[in-house]
């Protein structure tokens, strides 16, 4: 007689705190879509959902690689020509002490591998608050206690040094720095990078510098790579193709290890064990890395022109809307306005979807100082869509809370 399984298969309890607010909101949007409404999506950081196009020469490079039979497994750390191109990119970023480079399936996998290769169960890693939620998700998966440091809204979202210092314990192994930042769109100053380097030296920490948006700087300033400012400090710089080269679906990212050679040796060996264990990153897509990094960068001029105009429109709206204020974003395509309302930002966001069909993400999905409320805007949509969405949000605020 067949035996049927009756007991529930429970998910591991360490996953209880794994949240990805950006995608979790999709359930609310689905309700609204089922009622026949169109939702204005100011929530997902995928340029390809809007009027941005992948540069054709990198599509051709992948197409050619597939036709040429590059469809088997690749070397675990990446194909040689991609590794060489990433080393060239590191040099252009001013990173002079490169010890290792490797290719991954998106920066998401770089984050997973680099965190997994570092922290033991009784140790911790400093992550920013607000942060990109993957960091806390990976740490939860590893069973690591979260140790978040504040970004200071009053200081243009710079990391709050005193808070970092307060939170460093003998068990702290490293600091995550997201620059340009998701969700705030802020950039770290040179002085801040230098001060963080000093803390890392003093406490023997590695720095994970997530610089996935480094070519999307909207002000007239150059991006400063942490590893260029602190060549001696153990660091892994995270970079990738998703945002700068408009191919998030290809899943191509990389890590650049720099710093004192002896200090990073054992750690690199650990990373390579994990790289080998998962076989390799996507193979044909790796053939786009060299043409992307070394070929024409024309698309960036157009991308930044559009983003500047959309950032300015967003900022103007924030400045002119009661109950809303915002530190002007300087990079990437995110704004993180503060909102003065008597209920939680999660309720705000869910009701906004239901009533005005505009989708943004609540600040509590990224982390924020207790008592403060925010929402994240992705300003990738065109001006017409943004304007329509901002009219909807302003109406919603006025109708629900009044303008006082
Ligand atoms: C700060 C940050 N890091 C990493 C990622 C993941 O990027 P990838 O598509 O390369 O996995 C994102 C994606 O939005 C991000 O915003």
What letter does residue 354 receive in the DSSP assignment? H
> Measured from the CA of 181, which atom of ligand 1 is nearest?
1
Q: Name the H helices within 204-297.
A: 226-229, 261-277, 289-294
CA of 399 to the centre of ligand 1 (A): 35
- Predicted pLDDT of residue 139: 96
> Measured from the CA of 332, which atom of ligand 1 is nearest?
16
Q: Residue 223 CA to chain centroid, in angstroms? A: 16
C-alpha distance from residue 116 to each of 106, 138, 210 (Å): 16, 8, 16
> Measured from the CA of 45, which atom of ligand 1 is nearest?
14
Return the bridge partners of 258, or none: 98, 235
CA of 83 to the centre of ligand 1 (A): 20
What letter does residue 259 receive in the DSSP assignment? S
With a Cβ cut-off of 6 Å, ligand 1 is lined by 45, 106-108, 132, 178, 182, 210, 212, 240, 242, 248, 253
C-alpha distance from residue 96 to each of 211, 221, 230 (Å): 17, 21, 10
E-strand ranges in 130-278 read 147-152, 158-159, 172-178, 206-210, 235-240, 253-258
- Predicted pLDDT of residue 36: 93
Tens-binned pLDDT, residue by residue, of the chain (404 aa): 666 767 888 888 888 777 767 666 888 999 899 999 999 999 989 999 999 999 999 999 999 999 999 999 999 999 999 999 999 999 999 999 999 999 999 999 999 999 999 999 999 999 999 999 999 999 999 999 999 999 999 999 999 999 999 999 999 999 999 999 999 999 999 999 999 999 999 999 999 999 999 999 999 888 999 999 999 999 999 999 999 999 999 999 999 999 999 999 999 999 999 999 999 999 999 999 999 999 999 999 999 999 999 999 999 999 999 999 999 999 999 999 999 999 999 999 999 999 999 999 999 989 889 999 999 999 999 999 999 999 999 999 999 998 76
> Measured from the CA of 253, which atom of ligand 1 is nearest?
10
Choosing from 136, 185, 242, 289 the residue with most ligand 1 atoms within 8 A of its CB, the one to mutate for a pocket test is 242
- Predicted pLDDT of residue 1: 64
Where b means 16+ CB within 10 Å and e means fewer, 325-363 reads: ebbbbbbbbbbbbbbeeeeebbebbbebbeebbbbbbbb
Choosing from 49, 102, 108, 289 the residue with most ligand 1 atoms within 8 A of its CB, the one to mutate for a pocket test is 108
Secondary element (H or E) of residue 127: strand 124-129
CA of 100 to the centre of ligand 1 (A): 21
CA of 211 to the centre of ligand 1 (A): 9
CA of 202 to the centre of ligand 1 (A): 29
Q: Closest by alpha carbon to 131, among 191, 179, 193?
A: 179
- Predicted pLDDT of residue 378: 97
Instruction: Return the number of other C-beta atoms located less than 10 Å from residue 52's C-beta.
Output: 17
Choosing from 45, 132, 252 the residue with most ligand 1 atoms within 8 A of its CB, the one to mutate for a pocket test is 132
- Predicted pLDDT of residue 23: 65
From CA 40, how far away is CA 104, in angstroms rounded?
A: 32
- Predicted pLDDT of residue 96: 98
Secondary element (H or E) of residue 139: helix 134-141
> What token pair was written down for 181?
């930042």
Q: Closest by alpha carbon to 103, among 88, 85, 117?
A: 85
Residue 275 sits at the vertex; the CA angle it makes with 211 and 210, to the nearest 5 degrees, is: 10
Cβ(251)–Cβ(117) below 8 Å = no
CA of 313 to the centre of ligand 1 (A): 25
C-alpha distance from residue 244 to each of 102, 111, 288, 289 (Å): 18, 18, 13, 11
From CA 384, how far away is CA 261, in angstroms rounded?
A: 51
Instruction: Return the number of other C-beta atoms located less than 10 Å from residue 256's C-beta.
Output: 25
**In this structure, which residue's CA is closest to atom 16 in ligand 1?**
182
Is the preceding omega at residue 244 within 30 degrees of 0, hence cis? no
- In degrees and rounded to multiples of 5, residue 80 shows phi and psi of -55, -40
CA of 355 to the centre of ligand 1 (A): 30
**In this structure, which residue's CA is closest to atom 14 in ligand 1?**
45
Q: 């879509």: which residue's tokens?
A: 33
Cβ(330)–Cβ(240) below 8 Å = no
- Predicted pLDDT of residue 267: 98
Cβ(40)–Cβ(357) below 8 Å = yes
């Amino acid at each position: 007689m067949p035996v049927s399984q009756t007991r529930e298969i429970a998910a591991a309890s360490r996953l209880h705190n794994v949240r990805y607010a950006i995608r979790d909101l999709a359930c609310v949007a689905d309700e609204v879509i089922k009622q026949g409404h169109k939702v204005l999506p100011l929530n997902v950081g995928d340029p390809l959902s809007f009027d941005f196009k992948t540069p054709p020469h990198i599509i051709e490079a992948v197409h050619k690689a597939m036709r040429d039979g590059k469809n088997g497994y690749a070397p675990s750390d990446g194909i040689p020509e991609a590794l060489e191109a990433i080393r060239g990119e590191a040099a252009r970023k001013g990173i002079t002490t490169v010890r290792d480079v490797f290719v991954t399936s998106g920066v998401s996998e770089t984050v997973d591998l680099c965190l997994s290769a570092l922290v033991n169960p009784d140790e911790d890693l400093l992550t920013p608050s607000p942060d990109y939620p993957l960091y806390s998700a990976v740490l939860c998966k590893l069973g690591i206690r979260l140790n978040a440091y504040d970004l200071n809204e009053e200081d243009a979202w710079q990391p709050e040094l005193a808070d970092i210092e307060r939170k460093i314990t003998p068990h702290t192994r490293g600091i995550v720095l997201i620059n340009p930042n998701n969700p705030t769109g802020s950039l770290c100053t040179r002085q801040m990078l230098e001060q963080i380097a000093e803390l890392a030296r003093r406490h023997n920490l590695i720095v994970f510098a997530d610089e996935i948006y480094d070519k999307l700087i909207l002000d007239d300033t150059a991006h400063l790579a942490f590893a260029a400012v602190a060549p001696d400090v153990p660091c892994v710089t995270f970079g990738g193709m998703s945002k700068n080269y408009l191919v998030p679906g290809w899943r191509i990212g990389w890590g650049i290890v720099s710093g004192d050679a002896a200090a990073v040796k054992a750690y690199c060996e650990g990373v390579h064990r994990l790289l080998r264990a998962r076989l390799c990153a996507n193979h044909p897509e790796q053939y786009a890395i060299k043409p992307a990094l070394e070929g024409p960068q024309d698309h960036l001029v157009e991308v930044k022109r559009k983003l500047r105009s959309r950032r300015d429109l967003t900022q103007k709206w924030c400045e002119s809307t009661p109950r809303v204020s915002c530190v002007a974003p300087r990079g990437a395509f995110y704004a993180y306005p503060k909102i003065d309302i008597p209920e939680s930002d999660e309720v705000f966001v869910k009701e906004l979807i239901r009533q005005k069909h505009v989708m943004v993400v609540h600040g509590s999905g990224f982390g924020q100082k207790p008592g403060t409320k925010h929402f994240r805007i992705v300003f990738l949509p065109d001006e017409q869509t943004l304007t329509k969405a901002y009219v909807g949000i302003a109406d919603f605020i006025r109708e629900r809370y009044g303008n006082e």
